[in-house]
Chain A
């Protein structure tokens, strides 16, 4: 076994590319003999800093689905992604990611962490940031020539074209706008042709037109590349029409299903344990009314949990 991940090895050119090179919809990858769910959570619970963030989460996500993780601030949406990545242990229950323990399949997962912006003084090109996603975790130095180097450069430019970032990928990344940086980071997450893409509030801090464009791009990647997408979102409306399924996490637990099933007055009232009403605006946007303010103790919700990184294999 030279390459356990031959199908994902970016240097294997014999592999049919699940790429923009293939016409949309026609050459969706043939499902493996036993595809199984991409994600499977059974009664999962997580504990951060001694207190249980969420528990009893049951979730099954199939291949090529677009799933949103919703819920109030501080409820542990980002933590769910960290659990899936194997960066945080679960306190109870079972979690299977691509049929394996969390963290085992990290080379098949693309991850876009919560809003990080490069400092304006970051003197490195967008291309280089994307390239790091391809082989930045390998030891030693790459050969600057040869077929591997050309294949890598080709893959970088392909994926940059896929997200439409070609016009600014050669600029220092610190000089790109927030939306441009987000596209480059999406390219970085996609470069290894992941099976699963974990996106943490990728629409956060984009203006409304950019949100719609980015949502359409992510949805297109989901359909055309057959990538399963789990996206933490603060606001469901920009992505509502693209979603297969939502996971709604609140203090009282979690609910999973289609948006029409989950985002209802009844379900949310149960999850919040207080009366909540879901209204539909004339343009189809959903408005959650009576949503309680998030508890004040969650000011550290974005604090890094790096001290658990050691657990990642």
Chain B
């Protein structure tokens, strides 16, 4: 295992890292993932579908385990399971607003059912594939080792497709997310949009899971978006901020993981969490800075 010392000479440090082709690939993949996860996560946080996102993330685990079991690249397993789980959740809960006589279950209950079942599948695949134990940790908590150029190309192509579709449906999706009743009255196909969104989210989760692992997808999916939405209520600005935060956090995490013995998932999550805490604290601190008399002693 390479563990060169971090010199604080950033240029030299980056040059040292990028001397390794696999690190260059990791940085490329990280950049792609940060953008896709940021944008999709921003909509997910706005739509309050984090539970569905979490379930899709967990279904990345059996996807990768199953792919390894049958001897294909884990990427395909991620995409197959994540988008399939998204389709199941989206289609089975289509009528969740149906009347009291409906036999349909609520979205959150069904999401929980899908989650439990996918985890069980993952456990089964791991049990079937003997001697898999090292790989399991990487699947759950992420790894930046061994990302090939063709994997980066696959990530980039999927990301481009996801972002292109999202650009096309983004405005009606925002309308239907913020204001579903009026959007429906204006003829926005809210249901079809919600299905499309979940499938896109599945693809984004599958991408993210390859860097952060199945359990820590939220580091890139939720935290940058939550931090950005806390900092500004302007949609365009907070969307851009989300991508920037995700990007910085991922690259910083990769660097830290390269120069330390600790796993990438931990670093990315910790950095994202730090940014989130800072975003929570910043408005409060700013307000206090603007009103120094507030602390100095208001009339009792």
Which residues of A come within 8 Å of B, CB atoms?
Answer: 49, 85, 87, 103, 106-107, 109, 111-113, 116, 118, 122-125, 128-129, 132-133, 135-142, 144, 171-173, 185, 188-189, 300, 303-307, 309-310, 312-313
- The residues of B that contact A103 with a CB separation of less than 8 Å are 187
Q: Please measure, in the bound complex, the distance between the C-alpha atom of A129 and the C-alpha atom of B184, giving whole angstroms.
A: 15
B99 touches A133 (CB 8 A): no
At the interface, yes or no: B12 with Cβ under 8 Å from chain A?
no
B171 touches A140 (CB 8 A): yes
Given A106-B186, A140-B168, CB of A125 within 8 Å of CB of B233 = yes
Apart from A106-B186, A139-B168, A188-B182: 16 A-B pairs, beta carbons within 8 A: A103-B187, A123-B238, A132-B174, A137-B172, A137-B183, A140-B167, A173-B233, A185-B182, A188-B179, A189-B182, A300-B99, A303-B97, A306-B97, A307-B98, A309-B191, A310-B191
B171 touches A312 (CB 8 A): no
**A313 (CB) vs chain B CBs: closest residue:** B187
B185 touches A87 (CB 8 A): yes
In the complex, what's the smallest C-beta–C-beta distance from A53 to chain B, in angstroms? 14
Task: Kindly supply a per-residue 1/0 record for chain B positions 234-266, scoring 1 wherever the CB is within 8 Å of any chain A CB and 0 otherwise.
Answer: 111010000000000000000000000000000
**B167 (CB) vs chain A CBs: closest residue:** A141
Between A and B, 30 residue pairs with Cβ closer than 8 Å are A49-B99, A49-B101, A107-B186, A109-B185, A113-B182, A113-B185, A122-B178, A123-B229, A124-B46, A124-B233, A124-B235, A125-B233, A125-B234, A135-B171, A136-B179, A137-B171, A137-B172, A138-B171, A139-B168, A139-B171, A140-B168, A140-B171, A141-B167, A185-B182, A303-B99, A304-B97, A306-B97, A306-B184, A307-B95, A307-B98
Which residues of B come within 8 Å of A, CB atoms?
Answer: 46, 95, 97-101, 167-172, 174-175, 178-179, 181-188, 190-191, 229-230, 232-236, 238
- The residues of B that contact A306 with a CB separation of less than 8 Å are 97-98, 184, 190-191
- The residues of B that contact A107 with a CB separation of less than 8 Å are 186
- The residues of A that contact B179 with a CB separation of less than 8 Å are 116, 129, 132, 136, 188
Which of A128, A137, A140, A171 is within 8 Å of B187, CB to CB?
A: A137
**B94 (CB) vs chain A CBs: closest residue:** A307
B99 touches A129 (CB 8 A): no
- The residues of B that contact A125 with a CB separation of less than 8 Å are 233-234
In the complex, what's the smallest C-beta–C-beta distance from B52 to chain A, in angstroms? 18
A87 touches B184 (CB 8 A): yes
Q: Please measure, in the bound complex, the distance between the C-alpha atom of A123 and the C-alpha atom of B232, giving whole angstroms.
A: 7
Q: Please measure, in the bound complex, the distance between the C-alpha atom of A310 and the C-alpha atom of B178, giving whole angstroms.
A: 20
**B176 (CB) vs chain A CBs: closest residue:** A136
Q: Please measure, in the bound complex, the distance between the C-alpha atom of A6 and the C-alpha atom of B170, giving whole angstroms.
A: 25
Which of B171, B181, B190, B234 is within 8 Å of A116, CB to CB?
A: B181
- The residues of B that contact A305 with a CB separation of less than 8 Å are 97
A309 touches B172 (CB 8 A): no
- The residues of B that contact A303 with a CB separation of less than 8 Å are 97, 99-100
- The residues of B that contact A111 with a CB separation of less than 8 Å are 181-182, 185-186
**A175 (CB) vs chain B CBs: closest residue:** B233
B190 touches A309 (CB 8 A): yes
- The residues of B that contact A128 with a CB separation of less than 8 Å are 178, 233-235
Q: Give the interface centre of B181, B183, B190 by most chain A CB atoms within 10 Å.
A: B181
In the complex, what's the smallest C-beta–C-beta distance from A89 to chain B, in angstroms? 15
Q: Please measure, in the bound complex, the distance between the C-alpha atom of A87 and the C-alpha atom of B235, giving whole angstroms.
A: 29
Q: Please measure, in the bound complex, the distance between the C-alpha atom of A249 and the C-alpha atom of B233, giving whole angstroms.
A: 42
**B233 (CB) vs chain A CBs: closest residue:** A172
Which of B99, B168, B233 is within 8 Å of A171, CB to CB?
A: B233
Q: Please measure, in the bound complex, the distance between the C-alpha atom of A191 and the C-alpha atom of B46, giving whole angstroms.
A: 24
Q: Please measure, in the bound complex, the distance between the C-alpha atom of A245 and the C-alpha atom of B193, giving whole angstroms.
A: 39
Which of A122, A133, A138, A313 is within 8 Å of B182, CB to CB?
A: A133
Q: Please measure, in the bound complex, the distance between the C-alpha atom of A113 and the C-alpha atom of B183, giving whole angstroms.
A: 11
Q: Give the interface centre of A111, A116, A306 by most chain B CB atoms within 10 Å.
A: A306
- The residues of B that contact A140 with a CB separation of less than 8 Å are 167-168, 171
Q: Give the interface centre of B99, B172, B184, B230 by most chain A CB atoms within 10 Å.
A: B184
Q: Please measure, in the bound complex, the distance between the C-alpha atom of A144 and the C-alpha atom of B230, giving whole angstroms.
A: 23
- The residues of B that contact A129 with a CB separation of less than 8 Å are 178-179
Q: Please measure, in the bound complex, the distance between the C-alpha atom of A278 and the C-alpha atom of B172, giving whole angstroms.
A: 47
- The residues of A that contact B184 with a CB separation of less than 8 Å are 87, 306, 309, 312
Q: Please measure, in the bound complex, the distance between the C-alpha atom of A312 and the C-alpha atom of B98, giving whole angstroms.
A: 17
B230 touches A123 (CB 8 A): yes
